[in-house]
């Protein structure tokens, strides 16, 4: 009862010897980045011109050249370093602790339904609360020193990380689970080979969200009862109408955010070379 077919030699579809289309031009490759840079340049020039021609008062708006001068001065005389050191420390410790607790706990809560059922009410409640509202309580508990700032950074970052990790582990494609089971996967193997790899994208976007909240935590935390830090710099300079210094602080926070987000995007790329690219 064998089904016999005429041809028995395996035919192969060949992927070797690729032919190359002509390379894209510099503009084609970088169009979006160039457009962005161009728009930013025009904006800065317009801003500078608005101050130079006295359409607006520099006391309120500052200007790119004044920001650069002030920033340069703060780095040159070293007055910026204590602020950077304090904020950097708070951010590193707070965000680091958020990752170290949020990711493992999220994985556990995603994998064990009962643990999730127990902890979910707390997580949901705190996730929905603006953590900034907790600041007075935190200052009562941790004082006005570094600890309270670290705590607020931690609280800001940990919940987005936690919630995204839980969702990532819980929403595994049912087909993939079926495949794993069909090949005889144990619970542990199902977790290692299906749940973990498929939760990576959501986990990383959780880190990105958490990053934003951590930066908010720094700025707001340092506005109350701090002696140093970028948030403190912004608050104090604002109170003294030193718009240029406020802007320097804002730019430092913003560029930290952008740099960290880019870093995470690179990590994401490394983990997701398997994902088809969308759009151009």
Contacts with other proteins, residue ranges (CB under 8 A): 1-8, 10-16, 175-176, 178-185, 189, 193-194, 197-198, 200, 272-276
Cβ contact 106:186 at 8 Å: no
Joined tokens for residue 62: 């500052």
Which residue is associated with the tokens 């500078």? 48
At closest approach, how far in Å is the CB of 264 from other proteins? Answer: 18
User: Residue 21 in 3-state DSSP?
Assistant: coil
CB of 110 to other proteins, least distance (A): 18
Task: Compare residues 11 and 114 and give the one whose CB is closer to other proteins.
Answer: 11
Residue closer to other proteins, measured from CB, 195 or 218? 195
Shortest Å, Cβ 279 to other proteins: 15
Nearer CB in complex with other proteins: 114/188:
188
Which CB, 196 or 250, lies closer to other proteins? 196
- We find the least distance from the C-beta atom of residue 194 to other proteins, in angstroms, to be 8
Structure tokens that stand for 89 in this block: 């420390």
- Residue (79 or 173) nearer to other proteins, CB: 173
In the complex, least distance from residue 116 CB atom to other proteins, rounded to whole angstroms: 19
How far is 212 from 108, CA to CA, in rounded Å? 24
Our CB check for other proteins shows the closer of 11 and 128 to be: 11
Of the chain, the end-to-end C-alpha distance in Å amounts to 54
Number of Cβ within 10 Å of residue 94's Cβ equals: 24
* Alpha helices in the chain, H assignment, sequence order: 26-52, 58-61, 64-76, 81-111, 113-128, 135-142, 146-170, 174-182, 187-190, 196-223, 230-239, 243-271
Q: Determine phi and psi for 143, rounding to 5 degrees.
A: 80, -170
- Least CB distance from residue 177 to other proteins, whole Å? 10
Q: How far apart are CA 87 and CA 62, in angstroms?
A: 24
């Amino acid at each position: 009862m064998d089904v016999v077919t005429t041809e028995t030699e395996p035919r192969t579809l060949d992927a070797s010897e690729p032919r190359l289309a002509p390379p894209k031009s510099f503009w084609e490759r970088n169009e979006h980045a160039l457009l962005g840079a161009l728009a930013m340049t025009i904006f800065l020039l317009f801003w500078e011109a608005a101050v130079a021609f006295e359409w607006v008062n520099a006391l309120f708006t500052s200007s790119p050249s004044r920001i650069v001068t002030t920033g340069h001065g703060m780095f040159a005389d070293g007055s910026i370093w204590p602020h950077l050191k304090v904020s950097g420390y708070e951010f590193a410790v707070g965000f680091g602790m958020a990752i170290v607790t949020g990711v493992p706990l999220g994985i556990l809560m995603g994998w064990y339904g009962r643990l999730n059922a127990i902890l979910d009410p707390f997580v949901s409640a705190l996730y929905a609360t603006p953590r900034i509202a907790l600041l007075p309580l935190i200052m009562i508990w941790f004082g006005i020193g570094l600890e309270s700032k670290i705590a607020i950074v931690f609280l800001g970052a940990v919940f987005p990380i936690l919630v995204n990790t839980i969702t990532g582990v819980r929403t595994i494609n049912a087909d993939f689970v079926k495949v794993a089971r069909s090949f005889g996967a144990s619970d542990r193997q199902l977790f290692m080979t299906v749940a973990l790899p498929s939760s990576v994208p959501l986990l990383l976007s959780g880190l990105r969200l958490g990053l934003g909240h951590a930066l908010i935590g720094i700025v707001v935390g340092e506005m109350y009862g701090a002696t140093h830090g970028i948030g403190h710099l912004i608050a104090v300079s604002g109170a003294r109408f030193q718009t240029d210094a406020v802007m320097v602080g804002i730019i430092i926070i913003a560029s930290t955010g952008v740099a960290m987000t880019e870093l995470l995007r690179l990590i994401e790329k490394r983990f997701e070379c398997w994902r088809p690219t969308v759009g151009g």
